[in-house]
Amino acid sequence: MKIINEIYNQLLNRKEIVYEIEHSGATPTKEKVKDDIARHEKINPELVVVEHIYSYYGKRKSKIIAYAYNSVDDLKRMEIKKTKKVVEEKKG
């Protein structure tokens, strides 16, 4: 697991990280990646959100965009807002 970019977003109280991982076989699941990131960052897996996994065509590498929150409250605040926005877009 290699960090490509890492930014701390003070407004949202989270670390925004872009990783590149090598894997054999199929692209790893979000849950597997979430556990690997939590171990790498030495935080609770509940504080990690894997936003996207992009696999490179013909290669055994993937680019991962993830967020590591400072607390459960920060995570809930941001993820609930995102969920509400998606639901409203589907209704409208």
Going from N- to C-terminal start, the domains of the chain cover: 2-91
Tokens linked to 31: 């849950």
- Under CATH, what is the fold of the domain 2-91? Alpha-Beta Plaits (3.30.70)
Among 29-33, 49-53, 82-86, the least confident range: 82-86
- pLDDT for res 76: 87
- pLDDT for res 10: 94
CA distance 17 to 9: 10
Query: What integer best gives the mean pLDDT of the chain?
Result: 88
- pLDDT for res 1: 87
- E-state strands within the chain: 2-9, 14-22, 48-55, 61-69
- pLDDT for res 78: 85
User: SS3 for 4?
Assistant: strand
Better-scored residue on pLDDT, 63 or 85: 63
